[in-house]
Amino acid sequence: MIPIGGNLLVLSATLPGSDLPGRMASNRTSNTGFIPTSAAEMRALGWEQPDVVFVSGDAYVDHPSFAAAILCRWLASSGFRVAILAQPDWRSADPWRALGRPRLFYGVSAGNMDSMINHYTANRKRRNADAYSPGGRIGLRPDRPTAPYAQRCREAYKGVPIVIGGVEASLRRIAHYDYWSDKVLPSHLVPSKADLLAFGMGERAILEIAQRLDAGENIRNLRDMRGVAYLLGRNEELGDHQWQDSASDGETVELPSYEDVSRDKHAFARMTRQFHEETNPLNARRLTQRHGDRRLVVNPPGLALSTRELDAVHELPYTRRPHPSHSAEGDAIPAWQTIKDSVQIMRGCFGGCTFCSITMHQGRAIQSRSEGSVLREVKELSERPGFSGHISDLGGPTANMYRMRCGDPKVEAICRRPSCVHPKICTLLDTSHGPLRDLMRKSRELPNVKKVHIASGIRMDLAAEEAGYIDDLTRHHVGGHLKVAPEHASNAVLRIMKKPPAASFERFAERFEQASRRAGKEQYLVPYYIASHPGSGVDEMIELAIFLKQHGYRPRQVQDFIPAPMDVATCIHFTGLDPYSMKPVKTVKRLRDREVQRALLQFFAPENYFKVRDALRDAGRTDLIGAGEQCLIGAKPPAAAIRAQRTRASSATRGNDGARESKPGYRRVARERGGRQRRRPDRKNDDLP
């Protein structure tokens, strides 16, 4: 989410990791202000051929929340001629040929989001919308598009180097479990046959690749870069490609082979632990992994961008709009509509939650923009025609980690902790919300700004320790409801998630309510919970249901655990082992069992009555059935439950399982302790895409 002009040519030419000057060629974009997407737009600029063609599975939205826009603008700011091939028809190489042969390389990305999570629900059912496509239409990209896109690049123009990257390739850089096929798949380098895989955030890597290829180097020479992975040829030796820089001792860690992790779940768990121990770029070692008769090599991650560099990235001249070719179709792009008036202030996360990929992709170190850069963007956005006066979000992966980092650089350089806040907040972590509160205040005081919303996730254990931050939040930045993610109420499950205990959420909720009263406002939390996470069985979900009943929460939008590639929780789901302790962990895999967990999370819904009743009986918790204050459901099924059961049976007869997704929204009901009545109407609360 981000933009505005600055002196980018100087900064981009001096990024650490490359001492080559950027090409000072024509830095123009098309006459519409966008990166060109067609041969006609390139001809209008007087280009005979592009330097780089960036292939993306997303529609082209020229906004700094979209990776294609950031990376292409970043290259263009150094004088490279870049064209974007957005959502091409992958069934033919013709769309690739239409843009001509790239002088330097193809950059290939599946898009902002993992394609399989984008395409399928947690129950492996096809989604009916794609938030990153015009009109939300589905079918505009294949499953796992990185490989077919790379194949079309090679078919269109043989000999052009191919670099794959983005979230999908980044999370699949080594052998990984694929939930949708229920198989262990090889590194994405194998099916794509790409020359390099650039993982993590790509600004530094893509610019260095362009500069070094422009200087005449061969793509194989770039194997010494940080943040890249590659496959050695069958006859190549690892010793031919030495890796060493000032932040590494040159040591190499051999992961269990693809073949081993495919047949041995203990080997898969060991691989996962080793992989996650080498994610701190300040001390990470090179990784290798055998794939048949070839060897995969993964260099240490790239170093975090400085504040000056991150400012430069976000102050490029983005139009903040979808490309006119998409607008001409008359279909808005849902993801853009959600974030078009948002402002990103940082990237990275030190939370280390086992079910989340942010830390592994963006890094654990918090990279923050300067206050001046953020305020310039808010001001520029507020002066645009049609601006409503509302900034939809001022945040990032988290809303309140801005400017936080380790207070001891020497310790940070050797630390291998997967989380800075679990099992408790590290004493060396600077958790001050002061800089963030100043930024929030100055943003909301700018002319034309009526409201600055905080929509990014709040790290509640950090926020609860800063009363002033909660006061600012409730008084100025919450529009009646605040989304939070306690995820579960069972401390046993929360430990596996690497989330704070349930008491942490209760403490934050109490302080949020007190602060709202001080502000003279009636405001509510919208808590999100996960069903079917590793470690969560029926007993733990009953514990969560009781917690919800006691606190008067009725979540209308819930999450089913989706095992994303290379997450620690995914390893546990697949192997049944905690990769750090190698101890067994119970997991839920059958669809029927997942449905029971979801029903317990929404025990109050009439259509879930019979599933909840049967689960309580099987667990020996009939004390929760009846008319008592502590009971989750009544002794007799309500009429709506019987009607829902008949509807499901009728649908099943017609070949439809009758299942439906829970409607988005949230309702707060009467507190059952204290007797105070609080009634709120259902309200839609759509997730960010």
* DSSP string across 2-21: ------HHHHHTT-TT--PP
- pLDDT-based confidence at residue 479 (cuts at 50, 70, 90): confident
Same domain membership, residue 199 and residue 53: yes
Q: Is 633 inside any structural domain?
A: no
What is the side-by-side strand order in the sheet with 559-560? 481-487, 524-531, 559-560
Q: d(Cα 276, Cα 258) in Å, to the nearest integer?
A: 17
Q: Is 313 inside any structural domain?
A: no
Number of alpha carbons in the 13 Å side-chain half-sphere of residue 220: 7
Return phi, psi of residue 286, to 5°.
Answer: -65, 140
- Sequence-distant (≥ 6) Cβ neighbours of residue 339 within 8 angstroms: 1, 63, 65, 392, 393, 688
- Rg of the chain in Å (alpha carbons): 25
Strand segments, DSSP code E, in 305-351 are 342-344, 346-347
Q: d(Cα 321, Cα 561) in Å, to the nearest integer?
A: 33
Q: d(Cα 469, Cα 471) in Å, to the nearest integer?
A: 5
Nearest to 169 by CA among 298, 322, 62: 298
Specify the DSSP element, H or E, that contains 339: helix 334-339
Q: d(Cα 36, Cα 261) in Å, to the nearest integer?
A: 43
Amino acid sitting at position 25:
A
Residue 536 three-state SS = coil
Domain count, the chain: 2
At residue 654, the pLDDT reads 64
Return phi, psi of residue 483, to 5°.
Answer: -75, 135
Domain end marker among 247, 277, 298: 298
Q: d(Cα 205, Cα 188) in Å, to the nearest integer?
A: 18
Cβ atoms 227, 204 nearer than 8 A: yes
Return phi, psi of residue 295, to 5°.
Answer: -125, 125
Same domain membership, residue 199 and residue 57: yes
Q: Is 177 inside any structural domain?
A: yes
Q: How does pLDDT run across 403-439, given as a tens digit for each residue?
A: 999 999 999 999 999 999 999 999 999 999 999 999 9
Q: Is 111 inside any structural domain?
A: yes
Q: Does 660 have pLDDT greater than 80?
A: no
Cβ atoms 316, 73 nearer than 8 A: yes
Q: How does pLDDT run across 28-64, given as a tens digit for each residue?
A: 555 569 999 999 999 999 999 999 999 999 999 999 9
Domain end marker among 397, 426, 457: 457
Q: Parallel, antiparallel, or unpaired: how do β-strands 294-298 and 346-347 relate? A: unpaired
Residue 526 three-state SS = strand
Q: d(Cα 231, Cα 65) in Å, to the nearest integer?
A: 31
Q: Parallel, antiparallel, or unpaired: how do β-strands 451-452 and 390-391 relate? A: parallel
Residue count of the chain? 689
Q: Is 581 inside any structural domain?
A: no
Q: Mean pLDDT, the chain, as a whole number?
A: 89
Q: How does pLDDT run across 494-513, given as a tens digit for each residue?
A: 999 999 999 999 999 999 99
Owning domain of residue 432 = 341-457
Same domain membership, residue 355 and residue 226: no
Q: Which residues are 529's β-sheet partners?
A: 487
- Would you tell me how many other CB atoms lie within 10 Å of the CB of residue 98? 14
At residue 12, the pLDDT reads 33
Q: Parallel, antiparallel, or unpaired: how do β-strands 162-165 and 105-109 relate? A: parallel
Return phi, psi of residue 393, to 5°.
Answer: -165, 140
Average pLDDT over residues 567-586: 98
Q: Is 106 inside any structural domain?
A: yes
Return phi, psi of residue 47, to 5°.
Answer: -85, 135
At residue 672, the pLDDT reads 35
Q: How does pLDDT run across 537-559, given as a tens digit for each residue?
A: 999 999 999 999 999 999 988 89
Q: Is 419 inside any structural domain?
A: yes
- Would you tell me how many other CB atoms lie within 10 Å of the CB of residue 233? 12
Q: d(Cα 393, Cα 604) in Å, to the nearest integer?
A: 32
- Sequence-distant (≥ 6) Cβ neighbours of residue 552 within 8 angstroms: 668, 669, 670, 671, 672, 678
Angle subtended at Cα 225 by Cα 221 and Cα 231, rounded to the nearest 5 degrees: 65
Q: Parallel, antiparallel, or unpaired: how do β-strands 196-198 and 228-231 relate? A: antiparallel
Q: d(Cα 126, Cα 551) in Å, to the nearest integer?
A: 35
Q: Does 459 have pLDDT greater than 70?
A: yes
At residue 4, the pLDDT reads 26
At residue 109, the pLDDT reads 97
CATH of the domain at 413: 3.30.750.210
Nearest to 294 by CA among 243, 241, 251, 230: 230
Q: Is 518 inside any structural domain?
A: no
Return phi, psi of residue 108, to 5°.
Answer: -125, 130
At residue 250, the pLDDT reads 67
- pLDDT-based confidence at residue 75 (cuts at 50, 70, 90): very high
At residue 396, the pLDDT reads 94
Is the link from the previous residue into 500 a cis peptide, with omega within 30 of 0? no
Three-state SS annotation for 92-120: CCHHHHHCCCCCCEEEEECCCCCHHHHHE
Three-state SS annotation for 423-437: CCCCCCECCCCHHHH
Strand segments, DSSP code E, in 376-505 are 390-391, 393-395, 451-452, 481-487
Cβ atoms 160, 105 nearer than 8 A: yes
Domain end marker among 457, 489, 518: 457
Same domain membership, residue 217 and residue 74: yes
Q: How does pLDDT run across 267-290, given as a tens digit for each residue?
A: 999 999 999 999 999 999 999 999
Cβ atoms 320, 4 nearer than 8 A: no
- Would you tell me how many other CB atoms lie within 10 Å of the CB of residue 620? 8
Same domain membership, residue 357 and residue 224: no
- As separate numbers, helices (DSSP H) first and strands (DSSP E) second, the chain gives 27, 22
Q: Parallel, antiparallel, or unpaired: how do β-strands 390-391 and 228-231 relate? A: unpaired
